[in-house]
């Protein structure tokens, strides 16, 4: 005759919440059901032996079954932990990719003054990524997956917002037009041995040429909607075209300034066409007073081009009235924010 103390200890070990709390019912539902049924059967057999008269009790077979059941429970737990580890690895990889994507898009927004909605979407995506991480730590993978899906949706919204702003920069006809403007300006500088200014809005860069060769390059600030082509007064866009300096202003609200001849004939033509096409209200006027001025490259202008004050000192010294100033959207998409976004 065997006492019932040891079988009861085995049973208590089996009834500890190792499988109940491990998520076995989710990860290995068949194994879990089998384990629960086997445990109930073992409890029944143990109770059946316990009601027998002392000399007739025999726990030998029950004890053996309980040992086997304990080993099965440990094996099920091992498989559960393996599945958990695999899922955590998968989620961690997804979160890592989402964080990288957010960072790429965040860098892109730094070059786009119009990107406030995109920044908002990215902030929401970051919140969902962090919430997903917290749910993963609590083994709440279904909730984590929902947060990851929402983070992806916010990131997609940010991408769509940015690409909508930059859509025309992928137009080969536009790129070809800008390249011709730039090539003409550099060629004229080389032919006449003069100074010229080339502004690249997408790269946020002003390059100073002398005799057709670049001699300096500076970072710039643009209008609030600087990547758009200026159509009318108050649109806060920075114009695109071939201009020239018409006035040097030694004392300006923004340190020093160089006034260009915006609007030129082409700008007036585009303005009239936009009105005819209903793209502008009837009361819209074309505007003017577009400058390259000081105040700092981080300045947010009403359409002008801003540089650091020390850069204005250099420009003021080298340029004259009549110096060409060509402003283009872009010359190439290589090594720009569009390259990163479309990876």
Q: Where are the domains of the chain?
A: 5-166, 171-330
DSSP 8-state assignment for residue 230: P
Is the domain 171-330 a CATH 2.40.440.10 member? yes
Q: What is the pLDDT of residues 237-255, one digit of tens each?
A: 899 999 999 999 999 899 9
Alpha carbons 75 and 259: distance in angstroms, whole number: 79
Q: What is the pLDDT of residues 89-126, one digit of tens each?
A: 888 999 999 999 999 888 888 777 777 888 999 999 99
Asked if 285 and 263 touch (Cβ cutoff 8 Å), the reply is no
Helix (H, G, I), strand (E, B) or coil at 254: coil
Structure confidence at residue 279 as a pLDDT band (50, 70, 90): confident
Q: What is the pLDDT of residues 2-33, one digit of tens each?
A: 445 544 554 455 444 455 556 565 666 676 67
DSSP 8-state assignment for residue 223: B
Give this prediction's pTM. 0.68
Strand partners, 214: 209
């Amino acid at each position: 005759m065997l006492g019932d103390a040891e079988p009861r200890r085995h049973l208590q070990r089996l009834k500890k919440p190792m499988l109940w709390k491990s998520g076995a019912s989710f990860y290995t539902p068949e194994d879990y059901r089998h384990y629960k049924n086997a445990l109930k059967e073992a409890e029944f057999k143990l109770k059946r032996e316990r009601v027998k008269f002392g000399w007739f009790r025999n726990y030998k077979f029950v004890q053996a079954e309980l040992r086997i059941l304990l080993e099965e429970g440990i094996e099920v737990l091992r498989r559960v932990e393996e599945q958990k580890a695999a899922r955590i690895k998968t989620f961690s990889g997804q979160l890592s990719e989402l964080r990288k994507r957010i960072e790429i898009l965040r860098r892109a927004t730094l070059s786009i003054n119009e990107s406030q909605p995109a920044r908002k979407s990215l902030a929401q995506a970051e919140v969902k990524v962090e919430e997903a991480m917290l749910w993963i730590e609590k083994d709440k993978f279904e909730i984590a997956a929902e947060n990851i899906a929402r983070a992806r949706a916010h990131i997609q919204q940010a991408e769509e917002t940015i690409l909508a702003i930059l859509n025309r920069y992928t137009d080969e006809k536009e790129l070809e037009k800008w390249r011709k403007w730039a090539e003409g300006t550099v060629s004229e500088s080389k032919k006449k041995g003069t100074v010229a200014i080339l502004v690249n809005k997408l790269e946020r860069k002003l390059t100073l040429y002398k005799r057709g060769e670049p001699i300096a390059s500076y970072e710039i600030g643009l209008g609030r909607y600087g990547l758009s082509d200026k159509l009318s007064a108050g649109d806060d866009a920075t114009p695109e075209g071939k201009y020239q300096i018409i006035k040097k202003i030694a004392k300006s609200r923004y340190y020093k300034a160089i006034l260009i001849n915006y609007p030129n004939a082409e700008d007036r033509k585009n303005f009239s066409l936009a009105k005819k096409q209903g793209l502008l209200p009837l009361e819209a006027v074309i505007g003017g007073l577009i400058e390259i001025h000081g105040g700092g490259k981080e300045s947010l202008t009403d359409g002008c081009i801003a540089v650091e004050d020390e850069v204005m000192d250099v420009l003021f010294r080298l340029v004259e009235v009549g110096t060409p100033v060509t402003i283009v959207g872009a010359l190439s998409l290589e090594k720009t924010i569009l390259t990163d976004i479309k990876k």
